[in-house]
Structure 1
Amino acid sequence: MKALDDLKRSLAWRLFPWTNLQLELGPGCTVVLRNRGDFLILREIFIEGEYDPFIAKIGPVANWLDLGCNCGMFSLLMESTARKNGWAAPRQAVLIDANAEALSAARDAIAISKPETKLELVEAAVGPRGVATIDFYEGKTSHKSRLTSLGSRGKKVTRPVADLDKLAAKLGEQIDLVKIDIEGAEAILLEHWGDWLAAKAKHLLIEWHEPEQPGLELKAKLEKLGFAFVDASSEKGQGEIALSAHIGTALFSRA
């Protein structure tokens, strides 16, 4: 982590929007770094291990839906974990993101990694049911992309809205894990697809963002849908206290 912090203060950091680096992190897990944002995701997932405690609580899974997959690092972490811990095959996942550059990096990383899990990529945004397309704003780095305007820091594009019914059908009747990192669109997901999540998902691993979706409000919504709070992590700490932070990650399981 210190090496990445030193890098961010260096002249070389300014060049990273034009890099195309490959970093092998183990069997079935080679990540592709295209811009500065990818390095921040690398630190979050593989160095700081943000998701590791949650994955340990969930245990082996046969399938997952990765909403907001960005450059694919979460699903490659899942593949690496599956191999290390001997999770049963076959395994399958659908990865969804609306940022074309991020999906390109994910596609390259998957091709190089040759995962045992079948990973399918879909270019789409999470949005309301019954809507064909939606405005999406892409930042200068792929992790700064969202449904709400970024002002002068981003460009507006039009993206198809994900039909979660059709995409989830690829995974079967039940989805072991839905991972959600959609930069403030959590409220839209719960408003339009909440009942669908309750019917389909065993576990939700979700990142919340204020002001669009406060953490404590997220907990109340998901409990009404039949999910039980398991744990959360943020700058405020672990457990329910973490939900009072403006951003963080929480695990819920179907009660």
Structure 2
Amino acid sequence: MIDDLVKSIKDVVKKPVRPLVRKLRRQIHEQTWRRLNLEWTLRSGITIKVINHCDWVLYNDIFVEGEYDLPIKNALQSGADRGCLNILDLGANVGFFVLRVIDLFQGSGSKIPYQFSLVEASNREIDDLRSRLASQNLLSDNINLIHGLIGQKSGTGQIGEQEFHGMNSVFFNQGTRGTNVEFIDLTGVLEGSEIDLLKCDIEGSELIFLENYWDSLGRVKAAVFEFHHDLCDPSECTEYLRKAGFVNSQVLTSHEKHEISTRYFWR
């Protein structure tokens, strides 16, 4: 009986303390990363800043491991053949993917005109993305930032803002703060100029996107998707992409523990 009473008291005390502990831990982590002030300027002149743990993970995936290098390099060749490079980034987050594109683009010595469209749903990350690009004088008519949810063509949804910002998603638990964001209709973007590479990493909404837009991908030459197997069915996504004309594919990375894979598709 005494043990049960002690346990009940502990449970009552813990409940209001837990959010405070999580908040304090988050603040300590943020301050620690910022004090490290990690940044590096690449040979291309692009500077990469790492200000939190998620940045560190993304930096290693994209710049160290070169997760997207094969599709990016093929897109650069495609753009060179056409005389213009066009990239569409769905789920831009803080912009490391497009910074890698610019890094390889400038490193190749190419002088062809380019157009990059970056779509991000998170209010917090779109502001961070804009700030990071502005700090390197990369904001111009050639780089278009678009704020909105991806998947449906209209309406409003909620995105969960995670401490690990790479996992911001419309699929989130009750303990995560949700922010209302309007969906954007990407039909005009997809059916406009020819797109050398579409990158899609929208944390589980890939199938919803393909259900609504597979028949608008006719001007997309190649695509790379990050699939979250617990949130959407990669085989269904692949079938939609085949219907859209992407008959070739290659698995770039596969993480069974996290049920995530990155796959490259081309015509």
TM-score range for the pair, normalised by the shorter chain length: 0.7 to 0.9
**CA shift digits 1:177-222 (9 cap, x unpaired):** 111000100010001111112x231111111111232333332221
TM-score, normalised with respect to structure 2:
0.77
Q: Is the 8 A contact 1:28 1:114 kept in 2?
A: no
The aligned amino acid for 1:122 is I
- In the alignment, the residues of structure 2 paired with residue 168 and residue 121 of structure 1 have an alpha-carbon distance, to the nearest angstrom, of 15
Partner in structure 2 of residue 122 of structure 1: 146
How many residues of Structure 1 are paired with residues of Structure 2 in the alignment?
A: 231
Q: Is the 8 A contact 2:94 2:125 kept in 1?
A: yes
Partner in structure 2 of residue 183 of structure 1: 203
Residues 36, 219 of structure 1: CA spacing in aligned structure 2 closer, same or farther, 3 A cutoff? Answer: same
| 2:65 paired with 1:52 | no
Among 93, 100, 122, the residue aligned to 1:70: 93
How far residue 14 of structure 1 moved from its aligned partner, in angstroms, is 7.3
How far residue 251 of structure 1 moved from its aligned partner, in angstroms, is 1.1
Among 2, 8, 25, the residue aligned to 2:42: 25
How far residue 115 of structure 1 moved from its aligned partner, in angstroms, is 3.9
Q: Is the 8 A contact 1:13 1:36 kept in 2?
A: no
Partner in structure 2 of residue 4 of structure 1: none
Q: Is the 8 A contact 1:184 1:209 kept in 2?
A: yes
**CA shift digits 1:58-85 (9 cap, x unpaired):** 4433011100000001001000111111
Q: Is the 8 A contact 1:28 1:113 kept in 2?
A: no
| 2:247 paired with 1:252 | no
**CA shift digits 1:1-27 (9 cap, x unpaired):** xxxxxxxxxxx9974434554442343
How far residue 161 of structure 1 moved from its aligned partner, in angstroms, is 0.9
Q: Is the 8 A contact 2:223 2:264 kept in 1?
A: yes
The aligned amino acid for 1:80 is D
Greater Rg, structure 1 or structure 2?
Answer: 2
Q: Is the 8 A contact 2:152 2:185 kept in 1?
A: no
Hey, which of these two has a bigger chunk of strand by percent?
1
How far residue 96 of structure 1 moved from its aligned partner, in angstroms, is 0.8
**CA shift digits 1:5-61 (9 cap, x unpaired):** xxxxxxx99744345544423434223434321111111111111111232344433
Amino-acid identity (%):
27
Structure 1: unaligned runs, 5 residues or longer: 1-11, 237-241
- In the alignment, the residues of structure 2 paired with residue 14 and residue 39 of structure 1 have an alpha-carbon distance, to the nearest angstrom, of 17
Which secondary structure state, in structure 2, belongs to the residue aligned with residue 93 of structure 1? Answer: strand
